[in-house]
Structure 1
Amino acid sequence: MIMDPYTLLALPVDASPVEIKAAYHRALLAAHPDKRADSTADIAAIQEAYRVLCTPHLRARIQHTRNSQTGPRPAQVISLTEFDEGDEAWVHACRCGGAYRITADEMEKGTHLVPCTNCSEVVWVGYELMDE
């Protein structure tokens, strides 16, 4: 799995089955091409996240993995299409007044977690690399 299912569905770790189902439907609607033509969300990843969180032993395994990992937890998932493209990087404003900044080199390396230049918040940037 590429991404943490809780993060992908924007759920707290203690989410109930009802909350998981509601978040799953929200994510599917947000990713649906008829609703948002610019959506880069992976519907298969959303479905997999829902399957994992609805299966008790898989959810327990994810929880164990999360507990053993260190590093920042993204505050939200933002599509690269929501960033402003500059000469050297893509930039998205943070609510603190700072900005999230990602370069083409970082994307080539597979970087998705991007910190704010001003505060401690981190976001997960969604994008797909295209073959040239």
Structure 2
Amino acid sequence: MSAVTPASPTAPGLTELQGLAAVMSALARVSDIDALLSTRPSEPRSTRLHVGYDEAAERLNIPEKWLRERISKLPHRKFGKFVQFAEEDLRAISDMHFVNPGVANDKEHESAVMPLQPSKHARKRF
């Protein structure tokens, strides 16, 4: 009996292709492929605790100018003259601007129900 050798060491044989197809099929059936790839290093995440205007605006997908103009009404951190945003600040900003069009706003309802009252300031007549 002689040993069977492939014609070319780089060309895969039929059994190798079938084995590769079986492995790919098994991987396709696995619901959580990230668990299989957990040994591979993931993209490096920022280890910074706070971010500045530019990155905060990028993460919120808004113009940096919008943040700067409204900073007095937005949650943020201040280190001297430096304004920084933590993760919870960005989430709070996002939550502050949540809109649910199917639900009536309580403030709008109150203002519509409140009766009109005359002003307490008298108008000067000449």
TM range (shorter): under 0.3
More helix by percentage: 2
More strand by percentage: 1
> Which structure ranks higher in relative contact order (CA pairs < 8 Å, sequence separation ≥ 6)?
1
- Give me the TM-score of the superposition, normalised by structure 1: 0.23
Q: Larger Cα Rg: Structure 1 or Structure 2?
A: 2
